[in-house]
């Protein structure tokens, strides 16, 4: 029995978000980019992560359509993610959630939309974490309460 060979253009296990805990962590700690047909949730992985490759997770509910439609959406998203390989930031988990109308898109439209979402995500990652993820950043001030005048 021969083992499967991973090609440079493949979409192996190291490029996928697979565990529920990883999905949950990305949803809780991640940031969102809303696109016309998708929502992109992303978060940087810790520096000690085993792989520096960006990973993809797909969340396609039954609201998107029957199994054939859901699988088509997933296939198109995986292919767009695979083709955007060089444009993806390192060690970032991306979750893609389709919105209504995503099933009607052609492959090149999915790729274009997700590429624009990845570019927006890179800009947000460069700015640093949002205040809601910085401990104490949004905590109310200690001491006296201000009274309205």
What domain count does the chain have? 1
- Give a yes or no: residue 111 inside a domain: yes
Report pLDDT for 45: 83
- Give a yes or no: residue 94 inside a domain: yes
pLDDT digits (tens, 9 = 90+) for 113-125: 999 999 999 999 8
Report pLDDT for 1: 47
Contact 129, 42 (CB under 8 A): no
Contact 55, 43 (CB under 8 A): no
- Give a yes or no: residue 131 inside a domain: no
pLDDT digits (tens, 9 = 90+) for 5-21: 555 566 778 888 999 99
- Give a yes or no: residue 85 inside a domain: yes
- Give a yes or no: residue 65 inside a domain: yes
Report pLDDT for 91: 87
- What range defines the domain where residue 59 resides? 13-125
| 16 secondary structure, DSSP code | B
Report pLDDT for 35: 96
Ranges assigned E (strand) in the chain: 31-34, 38-44, 55-58, 92-98
Using left for φ > 0, alpha for ψ between -120 and 50, and beta otherwise, residue 140 falls in: beta
Report pLDDT for 33: 95
Contact 101, 128 (CB under 8 A): no
Report pLDDT for 119: 93
Which domain CATH number covers 115? 3.30.230.10
Report pLDDT for 137: 47
**Global confidence as pTM:** 0.78
Contact 99, 38 (CB under 8 A): yes
- Give a yes or no: residue 76 inside a domain: yes
- Give a yes or no: residue 17 inside a domain: yes
* Lookup: tokens for 29: 């700690």
Contact 17, 93 (CB under 8 A): yes
Q: Which segments in the chain show pLDDT lower than 50?
A: 1, 137-139
- Give a yes or no: residue 148 inside a domain: no
Instruction: Report in angstroms the alpha-carbon separations of 15 from 12, 53, 63, 135.
Output: 6, 6, 26, 30
């Amino acid at each position: 029995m021969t083992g499967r060979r991973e090609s440079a253009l493949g979409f192996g296990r190291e490029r996928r978000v697979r565990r529920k805990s990883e999905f949950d962590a990305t949803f809780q700690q991640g940031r969102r980019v809303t696109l016309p047909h998708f929502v992109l949730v992303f978060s940087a992985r810790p520096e000690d992560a085993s792989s520096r490759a960006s990973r993809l997770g797909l969340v396609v509910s039954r609201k998107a359509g029957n199994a054939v439609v859901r699988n088509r959406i997933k296939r198109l998203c995986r292919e767009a993610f695979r083709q955007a390989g060089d444009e993806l930031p390192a060690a970032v988990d991306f979750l893609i959630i389709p919105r209504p109308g995503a099933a009607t898109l052609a492959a090149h439209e999915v790729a274009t939309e997700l590429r624009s979402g990845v570019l927006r995500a890179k800009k947000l990652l460069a700015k640093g974490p949002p205040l809601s993820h910085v401990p104490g950043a949004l905590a109310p001030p200690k001491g006296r309460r201000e009274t309205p005048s």
